[in-house]
């Protein structure tokens, strides 16, 4: 399966260039952290030596590295919302410098806009196709029901489509829902959604930042074809006890953080829970004596996050992080019918970071991930249960080495994962023992990966990030593997213009079994085995970035082409649940997508935001196979997440120190869908109740009307609390401000004569999900 010729050049280049790392020895490495006075690492802070015109931005954990020539330097660190700090150093060897920034006034930190470093740094980085969103940005933007959702903020970025009105699903550059790798503190999250995708599992109180990689994937990432969504959680304050939270329309949040030992370590615990069920239970209780009353189903979800970190020595730091979340849906009829449906993720991460010396450090990370859903129902004496789960144990080691000379940053490492796929569990029985059946369909899998990459500054103008990833997967007696070359390059045309290009090959060994076109809690993960071979994709992208308006605006234009083999779908009428021969239900095909993404962003000043436009095509093709006509007889078709045009405008304006105004506008072409074209009548064995049966033409042969929506928001900072020194704000969100009835789906309905009850005509009905929805959220912090 490995096509050597396709990566031979990259491999040879990599092997040739690697020894160059030990050349030039004129600079030393300055590395350290930038933290607030409470000890929290500040991601995206700027660290620079202005005299030399050198600078960098801190990573999601507040760490930075800067290569400087020997001698005296004034190192300046800055972060919006904090006071800048300048420290003088004399660099005679590699050196560690940790910088603490005092807060810059009385502003709520959450109402400060901060992105991933400056536009200048974004211009110069080799990495392309990456978007970073911080919790601070997400909290400012208007949100559905006031529920801040960082994944929905990502959907406002070019090249990213949602899975439908209000949903958190991501479809990146023509990739399907299962081709995104969601990581929370390096632990995989298999279903990052609550309430059928309306909300994500990421509580904004504990999220520090999210990086979305759409192309040019760094070699340390693998396992999915289309994107990596790397979520980093916040560390608690190392300085003082803090409490933050919010009261919203449908949920409340509370987070507590405190030092474990001042300046050495801290923890944060956060919880969120919805409360529709509190009201619906009361309504049900009031009507419990009414025999005709049908109880309202119970529904709630909750999240629990925990993270603790501790600086063991100057060179050693550890952290543990955990997540526990559930959705619970229950229906209890007075007529003996009960239905309970729950699903949720759990994950845990432990990491040890060790700095051998300023040029070499390593992270050793162990993670555990688990996703499960359970359906239990009961009708009188009969009960029925259905469930599925996936469980991972992962151990990985990441190393970073900065050789003398400052021209190379070498990263290498490996990871190993044990997967357990509980593809289906069925239990059905009767209390009198007259019926008792059960079946488990389970598989195990082992996945491994080794990678090495070098970010090489070839000249002042040219930088290349090249790497190789070797991956393998075993499930039973089925072995798969492949080499994944990754290359990205940046060429500086002028101080304000850069050209970038990248290539990446990706393998995906686990697959989502879904036939709905959306990501649902009942979707099952399935390993590569038997006829189900690993999915594979390749992507090339190229772009140009211009720094405009004196460095206040960055305009980026990227084009991409992605092609993928062994894409999966399912035959019509497939048996997807508790099927020991599930692999026979798969169909295999190919997919390709291409497009152009234009992105204009502004990160400083009173008014910030971005304008994005994507022109894209996505197609899939499944030829006749396995006794079927494939899909659409083998003709290429547009999947449901194909959108021709996608325009987003996001604006944030700081009106005065207490009021921020925000707004976002989205326009997308309608998504392809399948509508019945014809009908037939079926009498069945008895002719008393003839049925009208829809006949469907080619899949996705109809396109819904276009979608557009304006959201508006106001963040109003209240007066500080005198006693506790706390801060609070009111956030008003207006979702779908001009109340546009966006199409969610269309169906064909029959119209009957009121007297004769005969069908007199058929009509098409469009269903919209959300009208204008205002919501108010109270946020506090002390």
Partner 1 sequence: MFERMKRIQNNMQVRLLGRVPQRWLGAALLAGGLLSGCGLQKDVDVELPAYPPQLVVECYLEDGRLPQALVSETVAYLSAPAPSVLTDVTVLLTGPTGQVDTLRFQPGQNNGSRKVYTHRGRRRLSIRPGDTYRLDVRDTQGRRVTGSATMPATVPIDTVEWQFNDKPGDARRALVLTKFRDPAGSADYYRFQVHRSNVGNNPEAEYFPDDRLLDGQAVTLGTGYEFEEQDTLFVTLYHLDQPYYRFLRSIDDAQSANGNPFGQPAAVQSTVEGGLGVFAILNYQRRRFIVR
**Segment 197-256, which members bind partner 1 (CB under 8 A)?**
none
Is residue 13 at the binding interface for partner 1, with CB under 8 A as the rule?
A: no
CA-to-CA distance for 553 and 549, rounded, in angstroms?
Answer: 6
Place of tokens 């608690």: 236
Number of residues that bind partner 1 (CB under 8 A): 93
CA-to-CA distance for 61 and 290, rounded, in angstroms?
Answer: 57
Is residue 431 at the binding interface for partner 1, with CB under 8 A as the rule?
A: no
* 330 within 8 A of 284, measured Cβ to Cβ: no
* Binding residue (CB under 8 A) for partner 1 from 121, 515, 625, 706: 515
CA-to-CA distance for 379 and 780, rounded, in angstroms?
Answer: 46
356-385: contacts with partner 1 (CB under 8 A): 375, 377, 379-382, 384
Place of tokens 């021709």: 644
* Binding residue (CB under 8 A) for partner 1 from 393, 665, 716, 745: 745
Six-digit token string for 724: 């506790």
CA-to-CA distance for 133 and 124, rounded, in angstroms?
Answer: 19
DSSP class of residue 236 equals: P
Angstrom CA distances, 615 to 5, 183, 388, 499, 560, stand at 32, 28, 38, 20, 11
To the nearest whole angstrom, how small is the minimum distance from the Cβ of residue 384 to partner 1?
5
* 399 within 8 A of 356, measured Cβ to Cβ: no
Could you give the dihedral angle defined by the CA atoms of residues 630, 633, 639 and 645, in that order, rounded to the nearest 10 degrees? Answer: 160
Is residue 753 at the binding interface for partner 1, with CB under 8 A as the rule?
A: no
Show the binding pattern over residues 664-683: x = contacts partner 1 (CB under 8 A), - = does not: ----------xxxxxxxxxx
399-428: contacts with partner 1 (CB under 8 A): 426, 428
To the nearest whole angstrom, how small is the minimum distance from the Cβ of residue 248 to partner 1?
18
Determine the number of helices (DSSP H) and then strands (DSSP E) in the chain.
5, 47
Is residue 624 at the binding interface for partner 1, with CB under 8 A as the rule?
A: no
313-342: contacts with partner 1 (CB under 8 A): 329, 331, 333, 335-337, 339, 341
Is residue 550 at the binding interface for partner 1, with CB under 8 A as the rule?
A: no
* Binding residue (CB under 8 A) for partner 1 from 361, 577, 594, 638: 577
Is residue 754 at the binding interface for partner 1, with CB under 8 A as the rule?
A: no
To the nearest whole angstrom, how small is the minimum distance from the Cβ of residue 592 to partner 1?
21
Is residue 698 at the binding interface for partner 1, with CB under 8 A as the rule?
A: yes
Total residue count of the chain as it appears in this document: 782
* Binding residue (CB under 8 A) for partner 1 from 53, 289, 437, 494: 437
Choose the binding region for partner 1 from 224-232, 469-477, 706-714, 764-772 (rule: CB under 8 A). Answer: 764-772
For 750-755, the CB contacts below 8 A with 24+ separation are 750/692
Is residue 162 at the binding interface for partner 1, with CB under 8 A as the rule?
A: no
Rounded to 5 degrees, what angle do the CA atoms 208, 209, 212 make?
160
To the nearest whole angstrom, how small is the minimum distance from the Cβ of residue 331 to partner 1?
7
Cβ distance to partner 1 smaller for residue 611 or 631: 631
Q: What's the gap between Cα 410 and its chain centre?
A: 27
To the nearest whole angstrom, how small is the minimum distance from the Cβ of residue 626 to partner 1?
14
To the nearest whole angstrom, how small is the minimum distance from the Cβ of residue 699 to partner 1?
5
Choose the binding region for partner 1 from 3-11, 496-504, 612-620, 695-703 (rule: CB under 8 A). Answer: 695-703
* 131 within 8 A of 153, measured Cβ to Cβ: no
Helix or strand run (H / E) with residue 46? strand 46-49
* Binding residue (CB under 8 A) for partner 1 from 324, 563, 702, 782: 702
Concatenated DSSP letters of 168-227: --EEETT--GGGEEEEETTEE-S--EEGGGTEES--TTTEEEEEEE-SS--TT--S-SSE
Choose the binding region for partner 1 from 218-226, 528-536, 582-590, 693-701 (rule: CB under 8 A). Answer: 693-701
Is residue 544 at the binding interface for partner 1, with CB under 8 A as the rule?
A: no
CA-to-CA distance for 159 and 558, rounded, in angstroms?
Answer: 10
Cβ distance to partner 1 smaller for residue 530 or 675: 675
Is residue 755 at the binding interface for partner 1, with CB under 8 A as the rule?
A: no
Q: How crowded is residue 153: how many other Cβ atoms within 10 Å of its Cβ? A: 25
To the nearest whole angstrom, how small is the minimum distance from the Cβ of residue 371 to partner 1?
15
* Binding residue (CB under 8 A) for partner 1 from 69, 263, 720, 771: 771
* Binding residue (CB under 8 A) for partner 1 from 196, 466, 525, 586: 196
Cβ distance to partner 1 smaller for residue 226 or 700: 700
Cβ distance to partner 1 smaller for residue 16 or 437: 437
Cβ distance to partner 1 smaller for residue 161 or 728: 161
Is residue 619 at the binding interface for partner 1, with CB under 8 A as the rule?
A: no
To the nearest whole angstrom, how small is the minimum distance from the Cβ of residue 693 to partner 1?
5
54-57, strands of its sheet edge to edge? 54-57, 46-49, 71-78, 85-91
Angstrom CA distances, 734 to 668, 709, 712, 738, 771, stand at 20, 11, 5, 9, 10
* 619 within 8 A of 638, measured Cβ to Cβ: yes
Cβ distance to partner 1 smaller for residue 16 or 695: 695
Cβ distance to partner 1 smaller for residue 688 or 722: 688
Is residue 741 at the binding interface for partner 1, with CB under 8 A as the rule?
A: yes
Choose the binding region for partner 1 from 75-83, 204-212, 559-567, 690-698 (rule: CB under 8 A). Answer: 690-698
Choose the binding region for partner 1 from 50-58, 213-221, 550-558, 765-773 (rule: CB under 8 A). Answer: 765-773
Six-digit token string for 78: 């800055």
Choose the binding region for partner 1 from 8-16, 46-54, 447-455, 741-749 (rule: CB under 8 A). Answer: 741-749
CA-to-CA distance for 347 and 337, rounded, in angstroms?
Answer: 33
Choose the binding region for partner 1 from 98-106, 256-264, 586-594, 745-753 (rule: CB under 8 A). Answer: 745-753
* 106 within 8 A of 83, measured Cβ to Cβ: no
Cβ distance to partner 1 smaller for residue 222 or 387: 387
To the nearest whole angstrom, how small is the minimum distance from the Cβ of residue 756 to partner 1?
12
To the nearest whole angstrom, how small is the minimum distance from the Cβ of residue 701 to partner 1?
5
Q: What's the gap between Cα 670 and its chain centre?
A: 23
CA-to-CA distance for 80 and 45, rounded, in angstroms?
Answer: 8
To the nearest whole angstrom, how small is the minimum distance from the Cβ of residue 679 to partner 1?
5
* Binding residue (CB under 8 A) for partner 1 from 289, 290, 460, 689: 689
Is residue 768 at the binding interface for partner 1, with CB under 8 A as the rule?
A: yes
To the nearest whole angstrom, how small is the minimum distance from the Cβ of residue 707 to partner 1?
14
Cβ distance to partner 1 smaller for residue 9 or 738: 738
Nearest-CA neighbor of 117 among 503, 557, 595, 601? 601
Is residue 568 at the binding interface for partner 1, with CB under 8 A as the rule?
A: no
Is residue 98 at the binding interface for partner 1, with CB under 8 A as the rule?
A: no
Cβ distance to partner 1 smaller for residue 16 or 764: 764
3-state secondary structure of 40: coil
CA-to-CA distance for 251 and 272, rounded, in angstroms?
Answer: 7
φ/ψ region of 126 (left if φ > 0, alpha if ψ in -120 to 50, else beta) reads alpha
To the nearest whole angstrom, how small is the minimum distance from the Cβ of residue 747 to partner 1?
4
CA-to-CA distance for 733 and 714, rounded, in angstroms?
Answer: 7
Is residue 699 at the binding interface for partner 1, with CB under 8 A as the rule?
A: yes
């Amino acid at each position: 399966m490995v096509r050597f010729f396709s990566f031979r050049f990259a491999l040879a280049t990599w092997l040739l260039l690697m020894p160059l790392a030990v050349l030039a020895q004129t600079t030393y490495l300055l590395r350290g952290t930038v933290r607030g006075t409470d000890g929290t690492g500040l991601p995206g802070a700027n660290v620079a030596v202005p005299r030399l015109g050198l600078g960098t931005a801190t990573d999601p954990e507040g760490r930075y590295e800067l290569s400087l020539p020997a001698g005296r330097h004034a190192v300046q660190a800055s972060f919006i919302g904090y006071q800048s700090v300048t420290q003088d150093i004399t660099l005679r060897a590699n050196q560690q410098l940790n910088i603490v920034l005092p807060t810059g006034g009385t502003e709520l930190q959450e109402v400060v806009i901060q992105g991933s470093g400056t536009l200048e740094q974004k211009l110069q980085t080799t990495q392309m196709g990456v978007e970073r969103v911080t919790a601070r940005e997400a909290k400012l933007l208007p949100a559905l029901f006031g529920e801040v959702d960082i994944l929905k903020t990502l959907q406002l970025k070019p090249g990213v489509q949602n899975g439908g009105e209000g949903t958190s699903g991501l479809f990146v550059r023509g990739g399907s829902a299962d081709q995104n790798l969601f990581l929370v503190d390096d632990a995989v999250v298999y279903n990052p959604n609550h309430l059928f995708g309306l909300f994500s599992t990421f509580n904004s109180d504990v999220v520090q930042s999210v990086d979305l990689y759409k192309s040019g994937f760094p070699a340390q990432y693998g396992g999915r074809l289309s994107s990596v969504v790397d979520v980093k959680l916040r560390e608690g304050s190392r300085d003082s006890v803090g409490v933050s939270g919010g009261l919203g329309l449908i949920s409340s949040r509370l987070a507590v953080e405190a030092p474990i030992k001042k300046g050495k370590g801290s923890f944060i615990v956060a919880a969120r829970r919805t409360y529709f069920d509190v009201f619906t239970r009361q309504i049900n209780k009031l009507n419990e004596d009414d025999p005709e009353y049908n109880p309202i189903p119970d529904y709630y979800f909750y999240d629990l996050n925990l993270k603790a970190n501790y600086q063991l020595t100057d060179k050693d730091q550890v952290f543990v992080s955990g997540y526990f979340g559930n959705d619970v849906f229950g229906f209890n009829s007075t007529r003996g019918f009960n239905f309970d449906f729950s699903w949720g993720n759990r994950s845990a991460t432990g990491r040890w970071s060790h700095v051998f010396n300023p040029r070499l450090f390593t992270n050793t990370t162990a993670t555990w991930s688990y996703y499960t859903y359970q359906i239990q129902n009961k009708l009188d004496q009969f009960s029925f249960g259905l469930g599925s789960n996936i469980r991972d144990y992962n151990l990985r080691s990441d190393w970073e080495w900065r050789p003398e000379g400052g021209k190379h940053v070498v990263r290498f490492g490996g990871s190993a994962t044990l997967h357990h796929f509980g593809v289906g569990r069925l239990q059905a029985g009767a209390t009198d023992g007259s019926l008792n059946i059960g079946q488990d369909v389970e598989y195990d899998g082992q996945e491994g990966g080794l990678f090495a990459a070098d970010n090489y500054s070839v000249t002042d103008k040219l930088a290349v990030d090249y790497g190789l990833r070797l991956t393998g997967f075993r499930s039973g007696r089925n072995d798969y593997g492949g080499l994944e070359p990754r290359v990205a390059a940046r060429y500086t045309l002028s101080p304000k213009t850069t050209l970038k290009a990248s290539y990446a090959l990706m393998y995906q060994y686990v697959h989502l079994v879904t036939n709905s076109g959306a990501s649902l809690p009942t979707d099952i993960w399935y390993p590569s085995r038997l006829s189900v071979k690993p999915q594979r994709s390749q992507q090339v992208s190229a772009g140009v970035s211009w720094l405009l308006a004196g460095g206040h605006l960055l305009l980026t234009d990227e084009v991409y082409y992605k092609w993928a083999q062994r894409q999966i779908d399912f035959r019509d009428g497939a048996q997807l649940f508790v099927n020991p021969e599930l692999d026979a239900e798969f169909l295999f095909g190919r997919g390709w997508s291409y497009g152009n993404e234009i992105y204009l962003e502004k990160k400083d000043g009173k008014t910030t935001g971005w304008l994005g436009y994507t022109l894209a095509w996505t197609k899939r093709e499944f030829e006749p196979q396995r006794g079927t006509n494939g899909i659409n007889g083998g003709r290429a078709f547009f999947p449901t997440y194909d959108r021709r045009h996608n325009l987003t405008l996001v604006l944030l304006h700081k009106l005065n120190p207490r009021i921020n105004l925000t707004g976002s506008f989205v326009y997308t072409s309608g998504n392809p869908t399948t509508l019945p074209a014809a009908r037939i009548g079926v009498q069945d064995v008895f002719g008393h109740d003839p049925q009208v049966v829809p006949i469907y033409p080619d899949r996705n042969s109809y396109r819904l009307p276009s979608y557009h929506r304006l959201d508006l928001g106001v963040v109003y900072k209240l007066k500080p609390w005198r006693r506790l020194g706390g801060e609070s704000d009111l956030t008003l969100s207006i979702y779908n401000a001009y109340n546009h009835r966006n199409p969610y789906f269309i169906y064909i309905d029959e119209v009957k004569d009121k007297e004769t009850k005969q069908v007199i005509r058929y009509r098409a009905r469009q269903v919209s999900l959300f009208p204008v929805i205002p919501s108010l959220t109270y946020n506090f912090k002390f």
